[in-house]
């Protein structure tokens, strides 16, 4: 069983930028000739990839942090310690994502969100195809 000190140390190592999945997705679309900015600070939410030429904001969301299968998390199958804190944190992140999506759409941007493990790392080609199709739709 993990101690609170160990878990705290592990959580402190998680960073919000430069993750494996966003790097892989970025390289894949770069090789297709699609140019982008990473963690574009000029936009709300600092999209992981911002394709400014076509006004497409791409986010790669971690399943745990952004509420993939949130009902399972709420039921207690995944969160055992500091339960109230994590449920609040994940709920806030989900609401914040909706707010950012709305702000970007109001500014004329198309928002694409991919799950880190379930989409980018398992179905990379599908994610790339969705980005390419979105670009074709905007031309």
Model confidence pLDDT, tens digit, residues 83-135: 777 788 888 889 999 999 999 999 999 999 999 888 999 999 999 999 999 99
pLDDT tens by residue, 62-81: 877 677 776 666 556 666 67
pLDDT score recorded for residue 14: 60
pLDDT in tens, 19-76: 788 899 999 999 999 999 999 999 999 999 999 999 999 999 887 767 777 666 655 6
Structure tokens at 22: 């966003």
Q: Which residue has the higher pLDDT, 16 or 82?
A: 82
**What pLDDT was estimated at residue 76?**
61
Tokens 């574009």 correspond to what residue? Answer: 40
Domain ranges of the chain: 17-138
Give yes or no for a contact between 114 and 61, defined as CB atoms under 8 angstroms apart.
yes
Place of tokens 């140390």: 9
Name beta bridge partners: 114.
60
Q: Does residue 1 carry a pLDDT above 60?
A: no
Could you tell me the pTM of the whole model? Answer: 0.82
Task: Return the pLDDT at 87.
Answer: 82
| pLDDT exceeds 70 at position 13 | no
Fold of 17-138: Endonuclease; Chain A (3.40.960)
């Amino acid at each position: 069983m993990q101690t609170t000190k160990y878990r705290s140390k592990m959580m402190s190592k998680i960073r919000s930028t430069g993750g494996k999945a966003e790097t892989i997705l970025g390289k894949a679309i770069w090789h297709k000739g699609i140019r982008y900015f990473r963690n574009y600070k000029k936009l709300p939410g600092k999209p992981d990839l911002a394709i400014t030429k076509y006004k497409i904001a791409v986010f790669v969301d971690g399943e745990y942090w952004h509420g993939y299968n949130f009902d399972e998390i709420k039921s207690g199958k995944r969160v055992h310690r500091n339960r109230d804190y994590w449920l609040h944190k994940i709920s806030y992140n989900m609401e914040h994502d909706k707010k950012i999506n709305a702000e970007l759409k109001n500014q004329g941007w198309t928002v694409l969100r991919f799950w880190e493990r379930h989409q980018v790392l398992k179905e990379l080609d599908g994610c790339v195809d969705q980005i390419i199709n979105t670009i074709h739709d905007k031309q």
